[in-house]
Amino acid sequence: MHLLTILPALCLLGVQTAPLTQKSPHLRAQGQIWKGQSHTWMQHQPTTKGLLNYQNSMNPPRCGVPDIPVPQDSSNGHNRKKRFVLSGGRWDKTNLTYKIIRFPWQLSKVKVRRTLAEALRVWSEVTPLNFTEVQEGRSDIIIDFTRYWHGDNLPFDGPGGILAHAFFPKTHREGDIHFDYDEAWTIGTNLGTDLLQVAAHEFGHVLGLQHSAVSKSLMSPFYTFRYPLSLNVDDKLGIQYLYGPRQTPTPAPTTKAEFNPTENESNEILSSEPDTCSTDFDAVSTIRGELFFFKAGYVWRLRGRRLQSGYPALASRHWKGIPEAVDAAFEDSVGNIWFFYGSKYWVFDGKLQASGPLQLSDLGLSVSRVQAAFVWGTDKNKKTYLFRESEYWRFNPDTRRVESGHSRSMADWRGVPTNIDAAFQDEQGFAYFLRGQYYWKFDPIQVRVLEGYPRLISQDFFNCPMTSASANSL
């Protein structure tokens, strides 16, 4: 059983939260004390700034599952540092279903579904586990956003305090995850409680992991806002101890006699892998919070500006049916991923099922291709833009039409060159425009390119050394 606790965010603003009422024998108002399974965590109200800082350092937000004592090393009698810890249970199958009963009020159902799928994906990417959402019938994992008393004798306590709890495999309620409906759930921001990180932590418990002693691991008992979401080496070792690593099948060699260019359903790319440090890129897009660079059927995947192991890889590994090359790509507000190539486009839904190819002219465009596409703006005012040569259009993915058949001039983007290859927005709101081996960083406040640009893509994104040829090629 797992309980997640956190210091109330209002305290950080100098606002005292109301004391807990007598909802349960597990909770008492005095000092906001919670007791459970011989573990006690106390959260006193701060009275001064110095005391608040002291308590934040002494009692950081943490999960309420009691930590298992460090065992003795039988070989030498010394205490060894325990890394990942197991709950004692695991699922006896690798294909698991999950169902969401109720949703938080702050977030749309589409965003919640996408976020929970992403939280599960960090575990499935390194194991043979596969997760499928079902909306009817029975499921292995049941997710619910609920309040106060909700049937398991472990009531929630309103905003702050207990955030969520989950049940381990081989227990009487295996697979159940409950989130406190009254929390300020957010996605990708530390202004509330980040659903992605809390959910991924809880899924770790549902799969059989206890807490890790490694401070920066996802399964650490202490909640820390980190983006983008990723597993620590210790998390990976723990989950693979239970379920083993994901096996990547080795493709059978294809001879010239077997290859039929009219039946390229596997979408294997026969060209050689591009050199990361000397290539330009066909498209770049932020997808599920990660950055993807596309070139000649290959894709590079960056998480937190770090290239992930195993990349570059064939783009068809992620999106079956993707065209052999990509001119532009973007992810819309509901999680659909759009790819453009020549006079056609493809749309992959949340389950990565493709529709297309469809005609570019159906979008209201009179041009034969687009060179770049990206979504730019704040959460409530995000707009999608399509680019070609010295012109651009504002596009509405919901209606699948450009807002006007008449293009606008690239001069609106002060300092950005024409004929760009790609564009994307980072988490701070800056826009990036790529052409050749260089990129320009665009300030949304000044509405112009920052000083000191362009810069080399290979150096800033892939840590490639500068050569004299690249330094003089602009």
Residues flagged as binding site for Ca(2+): 140, 157-158, 176, 180, 183, 282, 327, 329, 373, 421
Among 447, 445, 440, which residue's Cα sits nearest to residue 417?
A: 440
> What does the alpha-carbon distance between residue 138 and residue 96 come to, in Å, rounded to a whole number?
11
Asked if 432 and 440 count as a contact pair (C-beta separation under 8 A), the reply is: yes
Active-site annotation holder among 136, 202, 391, 451: 202
> What does the alpha-carbon distance between residue 374 and residue 432 come to, in Å, rounded to a whole number?
10
| DSSP run (H or E) holding 241 | helix 233-243
Asked if 367 and 376 count as a contact pair (C-beta separation under 8 A), the reply is: no
> What does the alpha-carbon distance between residue 3 and residue 36 come to, in Å, rounded to a whole number?
9
Confirm whether 202 is a catalytic residue. yes
Among 283, 256, 432, 259, which residue's Cα sits nearest to residue 372?
A: 283
**152 token code pair:** 């398991």
> Angle formed by the axes of helices 195-206 and 109-124, to 10°?
50
Torsion of CA 184, 188, 191, 196, to 10 degrees: 40
Cβ-Cβ contacts under 8 Å for 303 (sequence gap 6 or more) = 228, 230, 290, 291
> What does the alpha-carbon distance between residue 194 and residue 9 come to, in Å, rounded to a whole number?
12
What type of residue is 206?
A: V
Binding-site annotation, residues: 63, 140, 150, 152, 157-158, 165, 176, 178, 180, 183, 201, 205, 211, 219, 282, 327, 329, 373, 421
Torsion of CA 253, 258, 260, 263, to 10 degrees: -70
- Burial label, 458 (beta-carbon count in 10 A; 0-12, 13-18, 19+): buried
Torsion of CA 411, 417, 419, 421, to 10 degrees: -120
Binding-site annotation, residues for Zn(2+): 63, 150, 152, 165, 178, 201, 205, 211, 219
Residues labelled catalytic: 202
